[in-house]
Structure 1
């Protein structure tokens, strides 16, 4: 179940609102979670709804995942490389002991006494030299995570690492069947290729190999997690006055009250849940006229804003009473969302985003909350010209005969080197 608390002032304001869509939300979720009914939502968006039954599908893959985890015990390090959701999701379900304010606490010291993390997650935009991270190439597994395999940043890192013999034998691909990454991994004899179930949007793929492989390696009982998600999913259909439906209704009332900015907060400022939920809101709901804007900001700066609600994900700092005393009058606390309840929380967020995208749309199926057309357009354009980024350590512009045929070129450079910043300004 979803356990949440609402600050006294906010609850009173929302309870007094005449805007009430509880029954509409209940009917929508009932129909959404019963695919055999074939409602218009299913028929029009059928190529994006595979995530609804992905917990059941992945539960049938447990033996294969466990076999891989047993084989992985001979390795010391696990590095996951991706872009966007493909970089966030492998960390999202990681066992809690691996994450704290310093991001990764478990690892070891190499011969030079430099700290080497056991788990490392690289967003393709990060300026990173993997030589500073990897202790022993032969004892390191590198996972390339990409739904389409077209992300230029991930492809660039992969191509650069292909030239290192000791590591290129330890590549793993997590992707869709038949994708560019799948074909590349197959032709280059990757150690393993995990193909996700079809029709699942990237940011909704927590309960696929994308999110579950790293979780299983870190020690999460993913079988227990998936079974709890399925139980939660079934309870929505069978239970009257369900807590999730009440929460979605409160969020709908918030929008009606012109409270359309959510400030996402956790006692761990690097909590991967913050990044993922922020992405889910901004990429799925921002297309709607009645949109939500996600923030992650200092509470003190937002105390007197009447259009903002603070949502606490991991609340070790404030109790509900303290929140009321601190005059953080517009706050929601999501309780008990760690460890064995994390899977239920993640599935609930997917349902919340999907429900609001439909319920708050003024014209029903007005837009698709599961796509990112401009991102896909950019990937396809890059693919046409077979462009890779220059080495992030050499700061050299790419030289290619294809460049003269392009209408424009943009360069995005990430560096902490002040001299290099001045050089490229």
Structure 2
């Protein structure tokens, strides 16, 4: 097996600028400074430098986790011996993205347990998971780096109350915590008798935590060979200069290419993958968007947008990255990627041998993202605008506590059981939508945000919506379920360039689920998160339209598609 998955950079007219930047960084002793955590690479501000150094523990964390493999594997054996039949991982952002990728890209081994991942406050999804697993024989993993993240704590409280009804004082035997040392969550988990508490690493930020306990405990429970995943990550670590400068540093080359391309207007990283790797985009979205989308600049990751047959819909703001497997030929995408390259678009290709190479790819992309920060002159380890939506949500939840309900906003238009909210006007839905999308300019993007329970039917309709928008406006489209994307692309939405048009969808909850010890439900929490996000977008002067789809989200979305 090769040391690392091969990468091809077909950058065309941009190659010279990328080569020049790599030579500049090499001449400035980039490699040794990087591995010595020299924060002057990113900023001259002393306070920011200290913050950067405090979040660079991810550089060598794979070495620490390699030593922890026996402990993790022994825990998996303990869980199997105790008779558990299922695992539910409950987290948000960095504590759920890598587990999703591991579960979706790999077949479960006979040593593993089925794994479900809960990272939405949608009451329908919470109830669906509750009804689909054997509660008494299910291990619940509550994952929160800070120990204060609202969503995983709410999930943990809800299912702990359910297990309390079944097992009484032994409910804690069904629970595992993954959190940082010093977290208040440790006290609560200890008091409730959690089976195990994994203490992660304070110097590793959430989006850089795929190769820590947050990613690898769920992977091991699913039956994956985490020792081999880490072995391949360590090979990539060496290839990227951990033991001294190398002639070809795959992390430096990828990051420099992406950074230089972004500076020259190619700031839409369009990820193309075979179906088996669809979930990789969820992880990459958070890493790239949250790390680079600040100070009015950044790179927008575009995942889940199929390559169009008409390549004319792509502007000069795109760079295409294909991540797939060798030696398999991707018949659906290969000819289009070749045509895009011939048309002058930069195309980057990475070919893995199998899903265990994800360990190396997580590492490659983490290094590359840090390098992008150097090129763009930003701190890739902070997230200064994420708090905006949280603050707005907290304010709304105080209103709920005081008044018993969320404040209502007057609709701009109501038609066919749908309600439209925003500054966009129109005599009917078609005219209103036309005015909203008429604001789009070349180089803009449309972000579709769904605060709804995910279903195959909705996914299909949202794909159709993205295709219609792309074909008509020739702009990039992104899509995410809320509140998941708040911990992911949400930073870019508020801190990146003001080039987004935001289309937010909400709906009525057919069922709602009360939260133990709280005066509100999961449905109220999700509605507050949607409303809080919309408030934050407006505060940052973003172009936003909120559409409430009513009681049947799928039918409501069809109505919107018809109006388009």
Q: TM-score range by the shorter chain?
A: 0.7 to 0.9
Q: Distance in 2 between matches of 1:89 and 1:386?
A: 35
> Do the aligned partners of residues 291 and 118 (structure 1) sit closer, same or farther apart at CA in structure 2, a change above 3 Å counting?
same
Residue equivalent to 1:185: 189
User: How far has the Cα of 1:270 moved from its partner?
Assistant: 6.8
Match of 1:50 among 35, 54, 57: 57
Pairing 1:8-407 to 2, within 5 Å after superposition: 11-17=11-17, 20-26=20-26, 27-35=29-37, 43-73=50-80, 74-94=83-103, 96-98=105-107, 118-126=114-122, 127-128=124-125, 129=127, 130-134=129-133, 136-164=134-162, 165=164, 166=166, 168=171, 169-237=173-241, 238=244, 239-268=246-275, 271-296=278-303, 297-300=305-308, 303-304=311-312, 305-314=315-324, 316-318=329-331, 323-325=337-339, 329-330=344-345, 331-336=347-352, 338-361=354-377, 367-376=378-387, 382=394, 393-394=511-512
Aligned length: 393
Greater Cα shift, 154-163 or 185-194: 154-163
Contact 1:25 1:355 in 2 (8 A): no
Q: Distance in 2 between matches of 1:411 and 1:52?
A: 33
User: How far has the Cα of 1:124 moved from its partner?
Assistant: 2.7
Unpaired runs of 5+ in structure 1?
100-104, 107-116, 362-366, 403-408
Q: Distance in 1 between matches of 2:265 and 2:374?
A: 18
User: How far has the Cα of 1:193 moved from its partner?
Assistant: 0.8
SS across alignment from 1:372 = coil
SS across alignment from 1:194 = strand
User: How far has the Cα of 1:314 moved from its partner?
Assistant: 2.3
1:4 aligns with 2:7: yes
Contact 1:150 1:379 in 2 (8 A): no
TM-score (structure 2 length as normaliser): 0.61
Greater Cα shift, 217-226 or 312-321: 312-321
SS across alignment from 1:262 = strand
Contact 1:232 1:344 in 2 (8 A): yes
> Do the aligned partners of residues 85 and 139 (structure 1) sit closer, same or farther apart at CA in structure 2, a change above 3 Å counting?
same
Q: Distance in 1 between matches of 2:188 and 2:18?
A: 56
Contact 1:55 1:226 in 2 (8 A): yes
The structure whose RCO (Cα within 8 Å, separation 6+) is larger is 1
> Do the aligned partners of residues 198 and 262 (structure 1) sit closer, same or farther apart at CA in structure 2, a change above 3 Å counting?
same
Q: Distance in 1 between matches of 2:549 and 2:98?
A: 24
Contact 2:229 2:359 in 1 (8 A): yes
User: How far has the Cα of 1:256 moved from its partner?
Assistant: 3.9
Aligned residues: CA RMSD? 3.9
Q: Distance in 2 between matches of 1:44 and 1:147?
A: 17
Contact 1:94 1:220 in 2 (8 A): no
Residue equivalent to 1:113: none
User: How far has the Cα of 1:227 moved from its partner?
Assistant: 2.8
Q: Distance in 2 between matches of 1:332 and 1:344?
A: 17
